[in-house]
Chains A and B, each alone.
Chain A
Amino acid sequence: MNPVHLLEELSNACGLPGDEGEVRAILRRALTPHVDEIFTDSIGNLICRKGSGPVRLMLDAHMDEVGLVVAGYDAGGLLRFKESGGIDARVLPGRAVLVGRAKLPGVIGLEAVHLTDEDDRGRVVPAHRLRIDIGARSREEAEAVAPPGTPVYFATRFSPAGGRLVRGKAFDDRIGCVALAEALLDADYANLTLLAAFTVQEEIGLRGAQVAAYNLEPHLALAIDGTTAGDVPGIEPPQTCSHIGQGPAISLMDGTIITHERVRDHLVALAERHGIPHQFRRLTTAGTDAGAIFLQRAGVPACTFSVPCRYIHSPASLASLDDLEHTVRLIGLMARSLDEGEFRP
């Protein structure tokens, strides 16, 4: 299994919160030959098990991406929409999108420049004033091909971006899914039950992870996400949050969890011992599945570390394959450390 090919397939696949089937199918096909058990749980999480040792290690990455949902129609056949997950309205005007499972091409219409006045050109157009144009000529025609609730995805296709960089949509968190898949392939631990949970509905409230963690009852959990890298000119740390090329960004704290101190310290120690580049995620806002996992049942020690991605929650992100590789290595080191009894949850 080539991780770049898997990332390409997953990045191009479409799956909004609650509608992750296409992503799940790709992962199921890729992983079934390599795991001891694979199943979809009641809410749609894809769960893979490798090994049956006494220590239960849960790895988590979410399958859903942010996108739009058709919410209404204008008389002329333009679609009104709502966001599913957090999207900055500034990234929307003029975007090419794909509408529905049929992936009908559409455009988020931007008022022609010669019709705007000076003042309007500087302002952010709120999402409720934007429209998706699929070329329908009437409300009835639009509704027939894109009924209310139809998902709308960014139309970005995956591509290399020079050096070790790749570009595509939904790196948050398809890149985390690839990290988990790679970790499963490498897995061979006598004392662990390795449980990889590819979760649903993270972007709208960490929902799938609650169900997965409650069911799986892990002793320890690592959530692998894509986090924002703001390492561009004009932004200074800590606002940069994380930097491309500096390795997995280990979370100190976000809006949903203060990561488990012992787990976090051990991750850093392992990275340092083995010369793996790593950094701390500098922002303390937003949330990841770890925030849902650690409060399940009687509590689970949990930590998140993330692949830095520029421009997450926008049509196209940039990430480094080196950062992905180092993230996979760090997962493996933590798993081995647990397996050998060096770290006890």
Chain B
Amino acid sequence: MNETLRRLTAVYGPSGRESAVAAAVSELIGPYVEAVRSDALGNLIAGPAAIAPEARPLMLSAHLDQGGLVVTEVGQDGRLRFSVIGGLSAVGLPSLRVASARGANGVVGVDEGVDAKDLAPSKMFIDLGVAGREATAGLADIGDVFCLTGELAEVGETLVGPALDNRAGCAVLIEVARRLAAEPHSDRQAVQFVFSVQGAVAPRGVRTAAYALEPGWALAVDVTAAGGSRNRSPVELGKGPAIRVKDASYVAPGPVRQRLEAAARKAEVVTQTEVLPPGEGQNEAAGAELARAGVLAGMVGLPARHLGTASEMVHRSDLDAAVRLLLAVIDPVA
């Protein structure tokens, strides 16, 4: 999974412009599934070529997109003003390196005289290292989206780099697909893998994918904020995947918790239970849950620190455990 993650975190793919990541995922998962296709919004769907309508597949989803900075103005001074897409941390942005789809490289700067406590995207800019608007011609324009750049690094038992939200989730699903293909069972339930769009902003692509696939169950794999730096959270790195019980958009239905907990016991995976404070949090399961006549939906969280920065951190054992958990959900009898 390390190599998959190294490749996926290096691909440009902010919310709304996921085609390059979708192409990379398509290449990686292609050998393990019958069919890969894209839908109207750019979601990548991988799984059996045909499913009987009454079969109600299990949908496993992970959002493809990462956060980004969309240029809203090119100043006379050559500074690019921007808005933030997705969950990038404003206070973490200054001095980070960024790059756009057309290969412009820059650094996030801060306007003169801004106090640390007043840091906000409106007081920042992307510094292309040029002087004046004319010098930006051909380099960058309004509407371009810049993403954080950085190489994936192994730091002890953890992996550190940008876009682990949610390339880590994508990598987990690709690994699940690989293991399922390595041990086929003729009576295994149908599994559809969905790599969804715009999930870093809100559960959007996952909703239309669920409408199209009509799954009986939908499990979303995504990073979730762990404690240990800035955040208070009972979820910790290295203590196993987190089962989301409640957030501002979602309450886990009983059967979903039971199925996940039973699978955890069977696979001997230690999990954490995640209950967010009132009014906080959203997740992709909520996007799938209300599709058509309803879907039993849940979220498997990959604990992560330093989310929204260029050095997001996940624990390798949490990713491995999430793979084993999902396999046990799919094949409950060992």
- Taking beta carbons and an 8 Å cutoff, which residues of A are in contact with B? 237-238, 252-253, 257-261, 264, 280, 282-284, 294-301, 345
| Cross-chain contact A345 with B72 (CB below 8 angstroms) | no
Q: Are B41 and A301 in contact (CB under 8 A)?
A: yes
Q: Which 5 A-B pairs have the closest CB atoms?
A: A258-B16, A299-B208, A238-B72, A238-B73, A299-B41
Question: Number of B interface residues, CB 8 Å?
Answer: 25
Least CB distance, A241 to chain B, in whole angstroms: 9
- B: residues with CB less than 8 A from A are 15-17, 19, 39-41, 43, 70, 72-73, 81, 83, 85, 142-143, 198, 201, 204-205, 207-209, 211-212
Tell whether A295 pairs with B16 under 8 Å between CB atoms, given A253-B83, A284-B70: no
- Which residues of B are found within 8 Å of A345, using beta-carbon distances? 40
| Given A238-B72, A253-B70, A258-B85: A298 touches B142 (CB 8 Å cut-off) | no
Query: B143–A299 contact, CB under 8 A?
Result: no
Q: How far is the CA of A298 from the CA of B214 in the complex (A)?
A: 10
Complex Cα distance, B42 from A260, in Å, reads 9
Question: What are the residues of chain A within 8 A of B39 when measuring CB–CB?
Answer: 298-299
B140 to chain A: closest CB distance in Å?
13
Of chain B, the residue at the smallest CB distance from A279 is B142
CA distance A297 to B143 in the complex (A): 28
Establish whether residues A299 and B205, one from each chain, have CB atoms under 8 Å apart when the complex forms: yes
Residues of the B chain whose Cβ atoms lie less than 8 Å from the Cβ of A237: 72-73, 81
Interface residue from B19, B81, B201, B209 paired with A258 (Cβ < 8 Å): B201
A159-B87 Cα distance, complex, nearest whole Å: 45
- Within the assembled complex, what's the spacing in Å between the Cα atoms of A283 and B15? 17
Across the interface, A280 reaches (CB within 8 A) one of B17, B143, B205, namely B143
Q: Which residues of A contact B204 (CB under 8 A)?
A: 257, 294-295
Tell me the bound Cα distance from A294 to B202 in angstroms: 13
> A residues within 8 A CB of B16?
253, 258-259, 261
Q: How far is the CB of B242 from chain A (nearest CB, A)?
A: 27
Query: Could you say which residues of chain B place their CB within 8 Å of the CB of A295?
Result: 204, 207-208
Measured CB to CB, the closest approach of chain A to B124, in angstroms, equals 13
Given contacts A258-B198, A299-B205, A299-B208, are A282 and B142 in contact (CB under 8 A)?
yes
B40 to chain A, nearest CB (A): 4
Instruction: Give every chain A residue within 8 A of B83 (Cβ-Cβ).
Output: 238, 253, 283-284
> In chain B, what residue has the closest Cβ to A280?
B142
Q: Which residues of B contact A284 (CB under 8 A)?
A: 70, 72, 83, 85
Q: How far is the CA of A299 from the CA of B197 in the complex (A)?
A: 11
List the A residue with the shortest CB-CB distance to B213: A298
Instruction: Give the docked Cα–Cα distance between A298 and B212 (Å).
Output: 5
| Distance of B16 from chain A, by nearest CB (Å) | 3
| Alpha-carbon separation in the docked complex, A36 to B15 (Å) | 39
The closest CB in chain B to the CB of A240 belongs to B73
Which B-chain residue is minimally distant from A298 (CB atoms)?
B212
Could you list 5 A-B pairs, sorted by A, with CB under 8 Å? A258-B16, A280-B143, A282-B142, A294-B41, A299-B211
Additional A-B contact list (10), CB under 8 Å, known A283-B72, A284-B85: A238-B73, A253-B16, A253-B83, A253-B85, A258-B85, A260-B41, A261-B16, A282-B73, A295-B207, A301-B41
Chain A residue with the shortest CB-CB distance to B207: A295
Nearest-Cβ distance from residue A252 to partner chain B, whole angstroms: 5
A261 to B17, alpha carbons, bound, how many Å? 7
A238 to B80, CA, bound (A): 10
CB-defined contacts of A253 to chain B, threshold 8 Å: 16, 70, 83, 85
Asked if residues B143 and A252 are in contact (CB atoms below 8 Å), the reply is: yes
How far apart sit A298 and B208, CA to CA, in the bound complex (Å)?
4
Residues of A within 8 A of B209 (CB): 298-299
Is there contact, CB below 8 Å, between B72 and A297?
no
Interchain nearest-CB distance for B75 vs A (Å): 8
When distances are taken between beta carbons in the complex, the residues of chain B under 8 Å from A252 are 70, 72, 142-143
The interface residues of chain B lying within 8 Å CB-to-CB of A259 are 16
By the criterion CB–CB under 8 Å, are B142 and A297 in contact?
no
Smallest Cβ distance from A37 to chain B, in angstroms?
Answer: 25
What distance in Å separates the Cβ of A306 from its nearest Cβ neighbour in chain B?
Answer: 15
Residues of A within 8 A of B207 (CB): 295
- Give the docked Cα–Cα distance between A153 and B114 (Å): 43
Chain B's nearest CB lies how many Å from the CB of A58?
13
Find chain A residues with CB under 8 A from B40 CB: 298-301, 345
Inter-chain contact A298/B143, CB cutoff 8 Å? no
A262, chain B: closest CB distance, angstroms: 9
On whether the beta carbons of B211 and A298 are closer than 8 Å, the reply is yes
Q: How far is the CB of B217 from chain A (nearest CB, A)?
A: 19
- B residues within 8 A CB of A283? 72, 83
Given the known A-B contacts A252-B143, A258-B201, A284-B83, are A299 and B43 also in contact in the complex, defined by CB atoms under 8 Å? Answer: yes
Give A238 to B125 CA distance when docked, in angstroms: 12
- Minimum distance in angstroms from B144 CB to a CB of chain A: 10
Determine the chain A residues whose CB is within 8 A of the CB of B208 once the complex forms: 295-299
Inter-chain CA distance A283–B83, complex, in Å, is 8
Across-interface contacts of A257 in B (CB, < 8 A): 204
